[in-house]
Amino acid sequence: MGKRWIGAILALLLTSSTWAVEVHDVRLWRAPDNTRIVFDLTGPTEHKLMVLDSPRRIVVDIENTRLKTDLSGLKLSNTPVSGIRSGVRDGDDLRVVLEMSATVNPRSFVLKANEKAGDRLVLDLYDQQARGDSTAVTTVKKSVQQSAKRDIIIAIDAGHGGEDPGAIGPNKRREKVVVLAIARELDALFKADKGFAPTLIRSGDYYISLRGRRELARKRQADLFVSIHADAFKRKEAHGASVYALSTRGATSTAASYLAQRENAADLVGGVSLSDKDDVLAGVLADLSMTSTLDTSLKLGGKVLGKMDNIAKLHKRQVEQAGFAVLKSPDIPSILVETGFISNPEESRKLVSSSYQKKMARAIHAGIKDWFLAHPPSGTLIAWQKQQGGRQYVIASGDTLSGIAQRFNVSLSDLKSYNSISGTGSKIRVGQKLLIPTT
């Protein structure tokens, strides 16, 4: 009897150890130019990737692993994957087969467990033919003649996304959702402004590396990169909105250093290509050429912070600095806006409300617009208007648009068009600045 029990226990142990690793979840995200599939693992493992034709499919063999989740729930619409199935290979290996409706360039890599996430196998399927990105803008090279009068391009970056939720607040409120909503509001405001062309770096729920965000801004020839986030801290009492610029020498405070470390860790969650071995060198070179760009970032950030002071409590009353990887663009002024602490219960409730998101977007918009109206890049429509001798008027109590137009002997329609004001019942506010067109 004892021998039989010992034999049964040994058999059970042998069976349970056949699969050393389990896939406990599989997640999929669609980005404008690629599809990402993430396999969440209970431990490290090896894998092989094969691309097969007739029919077209991609095969992933994962050693000594079994599947403990259902693949049928993955949403494959708007992806090049038409079907997905799994099976056991060589007794204890997992085989996952992706049936493809289009040719892609696949890339796979493993991510070791860290404090942010467990072991993962990441499969990126890059489109061979661009499907069109609705967030792209038609840009004009900055070396064009003055007469071109191009738009000022604002790259709006909603932090995190995809498998990286960012900070998690009470009731599982996710930073990635909040900041995308604010980014979309900011995008809409700049679309209504004559002379400005916004472009969303992330237009949906998908992951982009920190370096990839900078590269997209450069590809679209942005005049400004603004990254939108919601802060978090270990103590829920921490509160307030902030604006940050890059520091090449160290953080201006302990909190700034903590925040930069947390935001830079996003690449640990989303995964960075192992082939990118020049990041350190690129970072050093970027730091050496940042002086002029950083000065603009600090001054522009101060304008934004001043506008945010009207609608939110501030965490610090000056622009802080830290080594944010996402801000390391040597030729593009870049700021990071923390819209509040999602870890603070009171601020978390505000951040998820549509009204507060609109207020925050308007404050960021006003600060950026004020800066560029005063300091427009050469070759832009705003710079041309300024060179024509257009005057600036600060609205006082009792002013009306029609009264201002009459005072400066300009038509009401020209005044409204010049300042991107639409609608018959357009509201103006005391302290708002108007550009007066040249008669």
Q: End-to-end CA distance of the chain: give it in Å, rounded.
A: 106
Confidence band of 365 (pLDDT split at 50, 70, 90)? very high
pTM over the 0.75 mark: no
Q: Which CATH number fits domain 388-436: 3.30.70.1170, 1.10.1060.10, 3.10.350.10, 3.30.565.10?
A: 3.10.350.10
Model confidence over 279-294: pLDDT tens digits? 554 444 444 445 668 8
For residue 146, give the amino acid letter. Answer: Q
Lowest mean pLDDT among 127-131, 257-261, 363-367: 257-261
Instruction: Pinpoint the residues of the chain covered by CATH 3.40.630.40.
Output: 147-374
Instruction: Pinpoint the residues of the chain covered by CATH 2.60.40.3500.
Output: 16-127
Write down the pLDDT at residue 275: 41
Q: Measure the CA–CA gap between 331 and 291, rounded to whole angstroms.
A: 10
Lowest mean pLDDT among 20-24, 118-122, 241-245, 426-430: 426-430
Instruction: Pinpoint the residues of the chain covered by CATH 3.10.350.10.
Output: 388-436
Q: What are phi and psi of 191, to 5 degrees?
A: -65, -30
User: Residues of the chain with pLDDT > 90: what percent?
Assistant: 47
Domain 147-374 has CATH 3.40.630.40: yes
| Residue 189 per-residue DSSP state | H
DSSP H or E segment with residue 77: none
Q: Measure the CA–CA gap between 201 and 33, rounded to whole angstroms.
A: 12
User: 3-class SS at 427?
Assistant: coil
321 bridge partner residues? 245
Domain 16-127 in this protein, CATH class: mainly beta
Can you give the three-state secondary structure of 191-253, one letter per residue? HCCCCEEEEECCCCCCCCCHHHHHHHHHHCCCCEEEEEEEECCCCCCCCCEEEEEECCCCCCC
Q: Are strands 34-41 and 21-30 parallel, antiparallel or unpaired?
A: antiparallel
Q: What is the mean pLDDT of residues 242-253?
A: 72
- 354-374 and 175-191 helices, crossing angle to 10°: 50
Write down the pLDDT at residue 221: 93
